[in-house]
Amino acid sequence: MAIKTPLLDQINTPADLKALDLADLETLAHELRSETIDVVSTTGGHLGAGLGVVELTVALHHVFDTPKDVLIWDVGHQCYPHKILTGRRDRIRTLRQGGGLSGFTKRSESEYDPFGAAHASTSISAGLGFAVARDLRKTDENVVAVIGDGSMSAGMAYEAMNNAGGMAERMVVILNDNDMSIAPPVGAMSHYFANLVSSRGYRSFRKMGKAVAKAVGLEKTIRKAEEYAHGMAVGGTLFEEMGFYYVGPIDGHDMEALTQVLKNVKSFDKGPVLVHVVTQKGKGYAPAEASDDKYHGVAKFNVVTGEQKKSAAGPPSYTKVFAQSLISEAAKDDRICAITAAMPGGTGLDLFGEAYPDRTFDVGIAEQHAVTFAGGLAAAGMKPFAAIYSTFLQRGYDQVVHDVAIQKLPVRFAIDRAGLVGADGATHAGSFDIGYLGALPGFTVMAAADEAELARMVATAAAIDDGPSAFRYPRGSGTGIEIPANAQPLEIGKGRIVREGNRIAILSLGGRLQEALKAADDLAGRGFSTTVADARFAKPLDEGLILRLAREHEVVITIEEGARGGFGAFVLHMLADRGALDSGLKIRTMTLPDVFQDHDTPDRMYDVAGLNAVHIVGCALDSLGREDEAAAIIGAAQ
């Protein structure tokens, strides 16, 4: 008996799904789920959300005509099954690796990714843009936006829905509700009702009924009665009020229900429709179903046992050091409280929440609200710490400016993932916070060189009562340095000399200090006495320390894990204002390169960025006129 070829092996593009019947679609979904589990077990990455949308992914590509029809995923980490079905299966095991596939949708990667999505709640806005462009071009493609995994907690989604409903643009929004936060339990009746209200017959009857009601003067009464009956049955009143035709909730793992409803809504000829699909995060893989939070993003794991590969024992992560330091400060001051925007585990506030549940607030994927909420707490006399990744804080920047900085409110921003972040790539790199916070009057901006410094910066921020402050720290483990039991606040705007020399000065801000010390050892071996200083503060600058370095050294190099226009630029401004650049000082600024760096291993990313010890040595030698020697050293390291 011949062995039957797996269906998944026969799928090269979504067009290959068109001829499949219901049984084949269900088989394909089973194979796709197994493939997704196997892939992520070897690459690591986001797992739970992708497993939850397997049936939905198959149904969407079966019903719609991608890539002509526009399919936007929000958030992008739901997209692994989508990538497998859209011609990328042969590369799927390069996921999140250098030169491989991105862990998110990416326009430059495939025509099936019409809009990149790594941050949440963008799909409806982008989808509306595609829908309006379609109508202006007078083409006929469908536009589908899949939003979920908590993304509906962000205000941007509702702004987009309000706009789309008001414009009555033809588009489909799929609400992937994978935590039962909105929907009542689903069952046969809700499936029946969803299929009924999305069917052409029902819509024709509805239209006729409205015409009759209008003729006899009962249009408003009938509309309200229908709306509230519909809302009581399936929970769609909110979306109907925003101008969307609501369908659902339906079981996101019922292939028959999904395909029927999607075929119905595909035939809608005007106006936006929202299809409410209820899925289970981690569906089909028992360890992920049992612990969806731990399987949201995973390291490599054993498929049979679900056990994730553990890192070798070493120093605690910066995230954990922050959490423990904040817990210590909160024990001394009951005004200290903490805010996270849907990332309690990622920011360490899950630990703080265990210690102080009444002082811990998770506001969902709503960074703008998180910042202004923290501002309100500060204005009322509390001491809020807003723990938000650098890349996510960008989403609340207007609130940082208007609701915190202008009002001089003492909100403390704990900025995790500052700098490069490895496999998550450009969308999650913390590249810009030094510049965008340092530009704001009255802001205190700190960067931790090691875990002991981070503990002291938490204490410093807790002590600042006259304005906003921020302290940044990298992803990953600390350096192994001993953390003081009772960390004392730093003197505001004062750096420290770590190593004394007299010819070259390396002024480091943040996590590159250890590389600066390695570079100093190398330079000393070449006969160049080198000073290493830890700036600690990007704002206010330690002007006395910097002027001393400029006065007593032939070369000054600043180094930071941030984009151009940050710490190095601040130093140059200050030295220019003080006339210190007129003395022939050779000064160089080392920053992240002026590109969006693709994902890779952290070590490789630092090499590409030119921020390792060898690059510091090369920069110093080049400044001293030893260009050939510098080039040889850097070339040998590549």
User: Which amino acids are annotated catalytic?
Assistant: 281, 367, 395
Beta strands 143-148; 171-177: pairing state: parallel
606: CB partners within 8 A, 6+ apart:
420, 612
Q: What is the 3-state secondary structure (H, E, C) of 287-310?
A: HHHHCCCCCCEECCECCCCCCECC
589: CB partners within 8 A, 6+ apart:
557, 558, 564, 568, 569, 571, 572
Helices (H), 64-187: 80-83, 123-137, 155-167
Phi, psi at residue 569, to the nearest 5°? -65, -40
Phi, psi at residue 233, to the nearest 5°? -75, -40
The Cα-based distances of 538 to 52, 363, 548, 557, 580 in angstroms read 44, 29, 17, 15, 19
Contact between 39 and 80 under an 8 Å Cβ cutoff? The reply is yes
264's tokens: 């119905």
Contact between 427 and 119 under an 8 Å Cβ cutoff? The reply is yes
SS3 at position 181: coil
Phi, psi at residue 158, to the nearest 5°? -75, -35
In sequence order, the β-bridge partners of residue 273 are 172, 245
Beta strands 360-362; 336-340: pairing state: parallel
